[in-house]
């Protein structure tokens, strides 16, 4: 059963042979058998319960559709749902069948081929020992945490796979939050005259952990050796890609109420990173204020070929858009692009830039929900349940569109669930329903381009692409896992509407190797393999 969630109509056309589609976005909420997430009390009483749990889209059986992993807490087991739709969206719980029996206090999950066998694995962050599950040829999962050497036991939030040392396999970055004893929660705090949950202020932040993939299915802790040791922060999220265009993989880390970090890869041997967050301008917003930084989304907003960074933040603050000016500096252009003021009353989590309406530019989707059960009190200037924010790109600004419903959302993942060429969305509430939003865009003609990397990183995590079009314009894209809050998905193909007429594609692979492609069909699906 479907329920129309939102319909947006804006006039838009192009004066050329192939006409650009009208700027219309329509989602339908699809009824599935996916169980609600579980995370503590319905009305949370400690900070451990408020962040909720994460999602992951993973093609675990390599059958070319996206399956769904859900992290759960409070003793409720994590779940894996197989995509059993054939041109539709339908999921079947196969957790027991494939050996997913994890019932720790799980928080987040990331997807990547950790052992280089061609099947994506799962790394689950927890309050307590994290868990690595190796995928055994798409038939089952095996817990290899201790053997692999990745049994960090802090309060893990988000984690990311990426080839940080350029050797062809996937290393692992783990965000840690703070010291928290469930038997000794912090005292309540005051916020806008109200008693609220205590933390993170006044609590002890934990050190993030970086693991090098040794190449034999094991990992080594290289946090200090690679230069990631710093004053610990309340880390909530991270993303791995090349931020300064030197062909090396860097790491941006979003910290809660503390300065964000941008670890630039120096290219030295042995591997070394330096924190350039303050110098680059991305540590704080344009007012010099530290923010909450739960969600991270990446896109080339100003068309200069460098990744710009959007982050979601606490209520009574604004979300922030940092534009990468190509010199290594990030400039806060939140107000200029129209994504600031409308976010002040909400508390943002996962977000993503995607071309939902297939008009050739990227739109912005943000899920929201407050951490305080009493957020609806008048003095809070907010509410506990909050609407999704959706912005469509119109010229040099984003225009907000009202959506139906208010929720306690936390996680969101983006991918083509029904293999029709457009991006669908799965959203999870904190301790609540999981919503599946089917994109009802009707593509007339488009070209889908996916990358296949070298063995060890077949998904080409960290690759970048710049498309040049017949009219002389260009757009750049990054092959990432989405950087969702405590969530991830396998890299999505880029979709080029036929009216854009791509004539050249410049690829920088995660190793820094370059490749140029100049011949393309008008439409269809293309997989570009890394040249030998």
Q: How confident is the model at residue 231 (pLDDT cuts 50, 70, 90)?
A: confident
Q: What burial letters (b/e) apply to 23-45, b meaning 16+ CB within 10 Å?
A: bbbbbbbbebebeebbbbeeebe
Domain assignment of residue 517, given as a range: 2-529
Tell me what the mean pLDDT of segment 346-371 comes to.
96
Quote the tokens at residue 118: 């061609």
Q: Across residues 507-513, what is the average pLDDT?
A: 96
Query: Is 10 a residue whose pLDDT tops 60?
Result: no
Terminal-residue alpha carbon distance, the chain: 47
How far, in Å, CA of 501 to CA of 21, rounded?
Answer: 14
Helix, strand or coil for residue 98? helix
**Widest distance between CA atoms in the chain:** 67
Structural domain count of the chain: 1
Q: What are the pLDDT digits (tens) for 43-85?
A: 999 999 999 999 999 999 999 999 999 999 999 999 999 999 9
- Give the separation between CA 526 and CA 51, rounded to whole angstroms: 38
Range from 80-84, 262-266, 349-353, 445-449 carrying the lowest mean pLDDT? 445-449
**Structure tokens belonging to residue 125:** 């962050």
| 389-412 residue pLDDT tens | 999 999 899 999 888 899 999 999
Over residues 260-284, the mean pLDDT reads: 98
Quote the percentage of the chain above a pLDDT of 90. Answer: 90
Q: Which residues are CB-contacts of 241 (< 8 A; sequence separation ≥ 6)? A: 162, 249, 250, 298, 307, 462, 464, 478, 480
Q: Tens of pLDDT along 417-426?
A: 999 999 999 9
Rounded CA separation 256/328 (Å): 23
- For 70-124, how does the pLDDT look when each residue is reduced to its tens digit (9 = 90+)? 999 999 999 999 999 988 999 999 999 999 999 999 999 999 999 999 999 999 9
Structure tokens given for 409: 């959302």
Quick check: 208 pLDDT over 80?
A: yes
Question: Is a pLDDT exceeding 50 seen at residue 458?
Answer: yes
Residue 3 tokens, joined: 């329920």
Residue 152 confidence class, pLDDT cut points 50, 70, 90: very high
Q: In Å, what is the CA distance from 44 to each residue of 7, 157, 192, 421?
A: 34, 18, 19, 39
Q: Averaged over 337-351, what is the pLDDT?
A: 97
Distance, in Å, from the CA atom of 306 to the CA atom of 329, rounded to the nearest integer, reads 11
Residues 44-54: pLDDT tens digits? 999 999 999 99
The pLDDT of 494-501, averaged and rounded, is: 90
- Helix (H/G/I), strand (E/B), else coil: 469: strand
To the nearest whole percent, how much of the chain has pLDDT over 70?
95
Question: What's the CA gap between 73 and 128, in Å, rounded?
Answer: 11
Tell me the CATH number at 294: 2.130.10.10
Contact 516, 507 (CB under 8 A): yes
What was the pLDDT predicted at 14?
31
Mean pLDDT of all residues belonging to the chain:
94
Confidence category of residue 9, pLDDT binned at 50, 70, 90: very low
Residue that is written with structure tokens 């350039």 in the block: 276
- pLDDT surpasses 70 at 7: no
**Predicted confidence band at 186 (pLDDT cuts at 50, 70, 90)?**
very high
Q: Is the pLDDT of residue 19 over 80?
A: no
Q: What is the DSSP string of 368-437?
A: E--S-TTTTSGGGSS-SSBPPEEEEEETTEEEEE--S--B-EEEEEEE-TTSSSS-EEEEEETTS-EEEE
Question: pLDDT tens digits for 419-450?
Answer: 999 999 999 999 999 999 999 997 678 999 99
- Quick one: pLDDT band at residue 230, thresholds 50, 70, 90? confident
Looking at per-residue confidence, does 18 or 392 come out higher? 392
Please list, in sequence order, all residues whose beta carbon lies within 8 angstroms of the beta carbon of residue 372, skipping any fewer than 6 positions away.
50, 191, 194, 196, 197, 380, 384
pLDDT band at residue 22 under the 50/70/90 scheme: low
Asked if the model's pLDDT at residue 16 lies above 60, the reply is no
Distance from the Cα of residue 7 to its chain's centroid: 25
Q: pLDDT (tens digit, 9 = 90+) per residue, 278-293?
A: 999 999 999 999 999 9
Alpha-carbon distance 483 to 347, whole Å? 17
Give me the pLDDT at residue 203, please: 97
Q: Report CA 88 to chain centroid distance, whole Å.
A: 24
- pLDDT above 70: residue 13: no
pLDDT at residue 11 greater than cutoff 50: no
Find the helix or strand (DSSP H, E) in which 147 lies. Answer: helix 145-148
């Amino acid at each position: 059963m479907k329920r129309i969630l939102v319909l947006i109509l804006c006039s838009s056309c192009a004066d050329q042979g192939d006409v650009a589609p009208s700027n219309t976005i329509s989602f339908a909420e699809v009824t599935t058998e996916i169980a609600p997430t579980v995370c503590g009390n319905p009305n949370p009483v400690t900070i451990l319960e408020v962040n909720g749990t994460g999602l992951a889209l993973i093609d675990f059986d390599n059958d070319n559709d996206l399956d769904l992993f859900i992290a759960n807490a409070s003793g409720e087991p994590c779940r894996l749902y197989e995509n059993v739709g054939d041109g539709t969206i339908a999921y079947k719980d196969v957790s027991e069948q494939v050996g997913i029996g994890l019932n720790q206090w799980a928080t987040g999950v990331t997807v990547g081929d950790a052992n280089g066998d061609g099947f994506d694995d799962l790394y689950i962050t927890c309050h307590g020992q994290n868990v690595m599950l190796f995928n055994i040829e798409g038939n089952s999962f095996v817990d290899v945490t201790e053997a692999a050497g990745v049994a960090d036991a802090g309060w893990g939030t988000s984690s990311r796979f990426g080839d940080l040392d350029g050797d062809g396999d996937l290393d692992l970055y783990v965000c840690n939050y703070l010291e928290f004893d469930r038997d000794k929660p912090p005292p309540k705090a005051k916020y806008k005259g109200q008693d609220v949950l205590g933390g993170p202020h006044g609590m002890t932040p934990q050190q993030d952990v970086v693991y090098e993939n040794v190449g034999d299915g094991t990992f080594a802790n290289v946090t200090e050796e690679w230069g990631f040791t710093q004053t610990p922060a309340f880390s909530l999220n991270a993303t791995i890609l090349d931020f300064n265009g030197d062909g090396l993989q860097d790491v941006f880390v979003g910290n809660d109420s503390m300065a964000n970090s941008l670890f630039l890869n120096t290219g030295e041997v042995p591997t070394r990173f330096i924190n350039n967050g303050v110098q680059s301008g991305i540590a704080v917003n344009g007012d010099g204020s530290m923010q909450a930084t739960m969600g991270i989304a990446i896109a080339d907003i100003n068309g200069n070929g460098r990744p710009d960074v959007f982050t979601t933040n606490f209520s009574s603050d604004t979300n922030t858009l940092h534009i990468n000016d190509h010199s290594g500096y990030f400039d806060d252009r939140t107000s200029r692009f129209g994504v600031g003021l409308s976010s002040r009353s909400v508390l943002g989590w996962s977000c993503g830039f995607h071309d939902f309406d297939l008009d050739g530019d990227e739109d912005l989707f943000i899920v929201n929900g407050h951490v305080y059960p009493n957020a609806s009190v008048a003095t809070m200037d907010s509410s506990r349940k909050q609407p999704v924010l959706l912005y469509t790109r119109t010229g040099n600004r984003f225009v907000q569109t009202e959506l139906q419903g208010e929720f306690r959302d936390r996680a969101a993942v983006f991918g083509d669930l029904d293999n029709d060429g457009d991006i669908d969305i799965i959203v999870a509430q904190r301790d609540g329903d999981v919503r599946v939003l089917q994109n009802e865009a009707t593509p007339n003609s488009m070209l889908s381009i996916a990358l296949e990397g070298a063995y060890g990183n077949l998904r080409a995590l960290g690759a970048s692409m710049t498309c040049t079009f017949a009219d002389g314009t260009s757009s750049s894209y990054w092959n990432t896992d989405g950087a969702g809050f405590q969530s991830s998905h396998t890299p999505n193909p880029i979709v080029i509407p036929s009216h854009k007429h791509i004539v050249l594609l410049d690829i920088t692979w995660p190793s820094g190797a370059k490749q140029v492609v100049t011949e393309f069909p008008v439409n269809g699906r293309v997989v570009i393999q890394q040249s030998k």
